[in-house]
Amino acid sequence: MTDLSPLALPFPDLPPVAGVRLGIARAGYKAWDRADLTYAAFDEGTVVAGVTTQSLCPSPEVEWCRAALVLGHARALVVNAGNSNAFTGHRGRAAVEAIAARVAGTTGCRPSDVFVASTGVIGVPLPIDRAEAGIDAVLAAPPASWADAAATIMTTDTFPKGAVTHAIVDGRRVTLIGIVKGSGMIAPDMATMLGFVFTDCAITSPLLQAMLAEANATTFSCITVDGDTSTSDTVLAFATGQAGNAPLDSDEAPAADAFRAALIDLCRMLAQAVVRDGEGASKFVTIAVTGAKSNASARRIGLSIANSPLVKTAIAGEDANWGRVVMAVGKAGEPAERDLLSIRFGDTQVATAGMAVEGYDEAPVAAHLTGREIEIGVDIGLGDGAATVWTCDLTHGYIAINADYRS
């Protein structure tokens, strides 16, 4: 097993969410002695929202979820770890259909109420017999904890990831819980590899969908580890309605803003946890871009910096080479003016007006780069657009993990 990330966070104490029951089992998708199938059952009336990868080579699970999301309701979730079932043709589709049918047949719901996600090696069909045996085992298993579920969905992750937030809605304290997995193949074009949000808030599916998409835009879609978008990226949000609040049904509803803020905060914590577990990562990097033509432009510039191997390796080597940041801004394909550009590392301004700051002293920047938490600020000088992107450094550890991934 890969050593624990030096940026790892302890798993939080997560309370139960009314209307959600968890289970785990060992289906045996890989030659490992651990649970690899996670199951969540939801009370009748649970609504669902989701965002999925924009990859043009999505997995059958992604396609299944997209079709089921249109209906807006859910009774179960199955997550397989160790096999992504992506690029597997009709055999992959048959596996997803078999999983949904097995759950529906034993619980009395419709197959379209069952959401399925898988993560792991691409190109290997998910074995239907193991999946069905795993479902039978998990339905007979004792209840599992959030920590159990978060650990079971992991692949190359080094620590389980979860978060909790709360909001007051209609005088009721509603709970939002999230678990996420992801470590490599992280450059989401919508969301991270696999993430799941659970809440007892009563809310309509269309409003939950709108809020999740909004939250995703500034959280999951603002992280990158290696610049590669997964075929399986999926984030799903399930709302059981068991908190007893008057259902939120529009942006104008009382407390809609409070719930939205709690959801964004939850997604941000989950997204940042993925970066902290980036394969081989030793430093957590925050890149704040201001002064761009638009927020979207600022995000693209931030991701250009965050995805640059030259920037990431300089940070790994604790090299204050701010010229690589200039390079990454220039190649982003977004409006930028060399003589308006300003760059800082930590609290130290290193460049402005197209050149190094007069009398620039590299010592405080070098000292900043020895830490685990790195901050880079870039002001484009053209407008009011702003975005924050999170990434990690690129080390020999990333190469070692991915050179040996299939073994």
CA distance 189 to 174: 29
Long-range contacts of 55-58 (CB under 8 A, 24+ apart): 55/189, 55/229, 55/230, 55/231, 55/233, 57/86, 57/87, 57/231, 58/86, 58/231, 58/232
**346 φ/ψ sector (left φ>0, alpha ψ -120 to 50, else beta):** left
For CA atoms 350, 353, 356, 357, the dihedral sign is negative
Question: Residue 73: what residue type?
Answer: H
Known binding-site positions: 155, 181, 192, 279, 402, 407
Which of 34, 211, 195 has its CA nearest to residue 119? 195
Which of 192, 204, 219, 234 is catalytic? The answer is: 192
Give the helix ranges, DSSP H, for 35-116.
60-69, 89-107
Residue from 63, 60, 130, 118 nearest 89 by CA: 60
Is 192 known to be catalytic? yes
Cα distance between residue 33 and residue 27, in whole Å = 10
Residue set of the binding site for substrate: 155, 181, 192, 279, 402, 407
Q: State the catalytic residues.
A: 192
